[in-house]
Amino acid sequence: MRSKNQSPINIKIIILGLFFLLFLLVIAWSSYSSPRPNSSPIAENDGLSNSSNLSTDEEEPKPSATACPSLPLTPTCTKLPPSLANALVHYVTTNITPQQTLKEISVSLRVLEKKSPCNFLVFGLGHDSLMWTSLNHGGRTVFLEEDKAWIEQIREKLPTLESYHVTYDTRVHQADGLMETGKGDECKVVSDPRFSKCQLALKGFPGDIYDVEWDLIMVDAPTGYHDEAPGRMNAIYTAGLMARNRENGVTDVFVHDVDRVVEDKFSRAFLCEGYMTEQEGRLRHFIIPTHRTSSGKPFCP
């Protein structure tokens, strides 16, 4: 999620262009929508939505002059949402750019365009976090970060981001042993990670994290580029377990840095090659269906 070696400055320009393109597409889409002939703009909480006895002689409620509602925008409300405005200002005034490339970001963006506003869980807090929150405008985007000091640093600059500190007890040099552990029968059982008997299941998240059905999960942390780093073995396994344990539907799971051994092997083994739909650069995309509604469904197709 973060690196001392930042991407070239032209990436920042591309990201800004991406935001503007998204905003223009939303406006273009909304221009084709028209309100129902007999409908009138009524505030969501003004207490009139359930009334059926209004006189035709009464003055119709006037549109609210307050901030615009969440996306999608309507032809009468094209104000830039605050989250997108903040992101544009942030990225245009900094030389720090997201670590993923434009093509890699575009993979997740295509999914967000279809699913947002939605529930988006991200392993890692970094320079791209404000971008993900903005692209999921109106939804809930949560970041899980290993470095408590880094969380405080980001919160000072971007206090609106929702992030939580988590700890990892593993090390990259333990990956081979954990891979063998993951082949055990207890790791093939679909359940809430809190109650899993598999050593790979992460149990230390805030309780609310386990109770939400996440539509997208991005694994871009914890640190995994040296032997004493925590590695992403448990994060990848837990992301797959959460996806399988949802009540219904599918979860889009993304793993970054699959050019590294751990990310490559663990994503193929526990997110399953049969669920992999795309790889762009160092980003791999899996679509994992629920296993709770299909008894006897194999862990991997």
Q: What is the mean pLDDT of the chain?
A: 82
Residue 43 pLDDT level (bands cut at 50, 70, 90) = very low
Kindly state the greatest CA–CA separation across the chain: 76
Residue 4 pLDDT level (bands cut at 50, 70, 90) = very low
Higher-pLDDT residue of 274, 31: 274
Is the predicted pLDDT of residue 286 greater than 80, yes or no? yes
What φ, ψ does residue 209 adopt, rounded to 5°? -60, -40
Is the predicted pLDDT of residue 68 greater than 80, yes or no? no
Provide CB contacts within 8 A for 263, sequence distance 6+. 219, 224, 232, 236, 255, 256, 257, 284
Identify the weakest region by mean pLDDT among 54-63, 108-117, 164-173, 278-287: 54-63
pLDDT of residue 190: 95
Residue 111 pLDDT level (bands cut at 50, 70, 90) = very high
Q: Are strands 250-256 and 283-289 parallel, antiparallel or unpaired?
A: antiparallel
Q: What whole-number percentage of the chain has pLDDT above 90? A: 64
Residue 294 pLDDT level (bands cut at 50, 70, 90) = confident
pLDDT of residue 48: 36
What DSSP character marks residue 268? I
pLDDT of residue 146: 97
Supply angle C-alpha 273, 278, 282, rounded to 5.
95
**Interhelix angle 82-92/9-31, nearest 10 degrees:** 160
Residue 293 pLDDT level (bands cut at 50, 70, 90) = confident
pLDDT of residue 89: 63
pLDDT of residue 198: 98
pLDDT in tens, 129-153: 999 999 999 999 999 999 999 999 9
pTM equals 0.75
Q: Which helix (H) or strand (E) holds 266?
A: helix 261-267
Identify the weakest region by mean pLDDT among 1-5, 58-62, 168-172: 58-62
Please give the sequence-ordered ranges of beta strands (E in DSSP) within 25-92, or none if there are none. none
d(CA 298, CA 189): 10
Is the predicted pLDDT of residue 76 greater than 90, yes or no? no
Identify the weakest region by mean pLDDT among 11-15, 44-48, 72-76, 267-271: 44-48
pLDDT of residue 60: 46
pLDDT of residue 45: 42
Which tokens sit at 17? 């262009």
Q: Which residues pair with residue 279 across a beta bridge?
A: 284
Is the predicted pLDDT of residue 51 greater than 50, yes or no? no
Q: Which ranges of 158-226 would DSSP assign to H, the alpha helix?
A: 175-182, 207-211
Token look-up 């599918």 returns: 250
Residue 269 pLDDT level (bands cut at 50, 70, 90) = very high
pLDDT in tens, 215-250: 999 999 999 999 999 999 999 999 999 999 999 999
d(CA 34, CA 74): 8
pLDDT of residue 257: 98
What φ, ψ does residue 115 adopt, rounded to 5°? -100, -25
Q: Are 230 and 146 in contact (CB under 8 A)?
A: yes
